[in-house]
Amino acid sequence: MQNRYIGDVGDFGKFGLLRKLCGGTPPLKLGVVWYLTDCGNETKADGKHVGYLEGVCHSALQKGFRSCDTKLYDTLRQSLVDADGKVVAERRLTTTIEGEGVLPDGTVYFSETLTHEEGTSRSGWLGGALKTTTEAEVIFLDPDNGIQGRSSRTRGPKHALWSEIEAFASRGQTVVVYHHLNRSEPHVDQIKRLHRQFQERMPNGFETFYMLFRRGTRRVFFVTAAPPHRDSVASTLSEMLSGQWAKRRHFLPEISYTGTAVELVRP
């Protein structure tokens, strides 16, 4: 995660999903591990998809997002957009999200930067993340690129390691992991492979769901639910895929899996 990406259209899907998962009755306490990296000198155009927030308020484009979660949309716009309708780069910070009530009350955040160093540096970082989120019921892991893959390159700070996902799940916490779909294999095959790995690696009784978000660039959120949360997670995700989030084609029901008989199909 890099601060300059805050407010990108993918964040709207990310925060909307977390608000739904943790905002029920009773609510679930959320812990966010940002996976902040020290890659600020990159010049890629990632994070450019902010048009859904900009311009004249309540335009047709904006209504397509605002109808999904009015409070989330209005909070993001008030926090990030200036009087001229432009997103302000200096406001694109994780601290903005933490301080503006974007996520549910009581959410805890771990914001320590994860460097390129390996070994004890990373283990110490993970120890801090585990300590900060001890009381959380749902953990969100937000790496730049997603879950580690087959190459050594995917074991750096831009990826969540399987050992890190397992560390939270082993404590009985439901874990949500961001994964940016890449070109290593067709997206459907990539999703199926990772889903299978979750099913193999998570503790007994866990069930893993996934939600595909299509705005900006395609990304998938894996939700591996601890036994006490399985039913509520399945119900919440199914509700999202039968409501405005799906009707507006933000999340795609035909290539998401919420514990129902949804088939993966190629888009």
- Please state the rounded mean pLDDT for residues 252-267: 66
Asked if the structure places residue 209 within a domain, the reply is: yes
Asked if the structure places residue 54 within a domain, the reply is: no
User: Rounded to whole angstroms, how far apart are CA atoms 76 and 104?
Assistant: 14
Q: Is the pLDDT of residue 151 over 80?
A: no
Q: Please state the pTM of the whole predicted model.
A: 0.91
Asked if the structure places residue 68 within a domain, the reply is: no
pLDDT of residue 153: 65
CATH of the domain at 213: 3.40.50
For residues 167 and 130, the answer to whether their CB atoms sit within 8 Å is yes
Asked if the structure places residue 159 within a domain, the reply is: yes
Asked if the structure places residue 65 within a domain, the reply is: no
Model confidence over 81-122: pLDDT tens digits? 998 889 899 999 999 999 988 999 999 999 999 876 655 688
Beta strand 146-147 with 219-225 is unpaired
Asked if the structure places residue 83 within a domain, the reply is: no
Among the ranges given (150-159, 178-187, 189-198), the one the predictor scored with the smallest mean pLDDT: 150-159
45-76: b or e for each residue (b if 16 or more CB lie within 10 Å)?
ebbebbebbbeeeeeeebebbbebbeebbebb
Asked if the structure places residue 56 within a domain, the reply is: no
pLDDT of residue 97: 92
The total of structural domains in the chain comes to 1
Q: Is the pLDDT of residue 262 over 60?
A: no
Q: Is the pLDDT of residue 72 over 90?
A: yes
Answer with the residue of higher pLDDT: 47 or 114.
Answer: 114
Among the ranges given (33-37, 58-62, 86-90, 210-214), the one the predictor scored with the smallest mean pLDDT: 58-62
Residue 32 domain boundaries: 3-49+94-255
pLDDT of residue 4: 85
Asked if the structure places residue 62 within a domain, the reply is: no
- Please state the rounded mean pLDDT for residues 232-253: 92
- Tell which phi-psi region holds residue 47, choosing left (phi > 0), alpha (psi between -120 and 50) or beta: left
Q: Is the pLDDT of residue 244 over 70?
A: yes
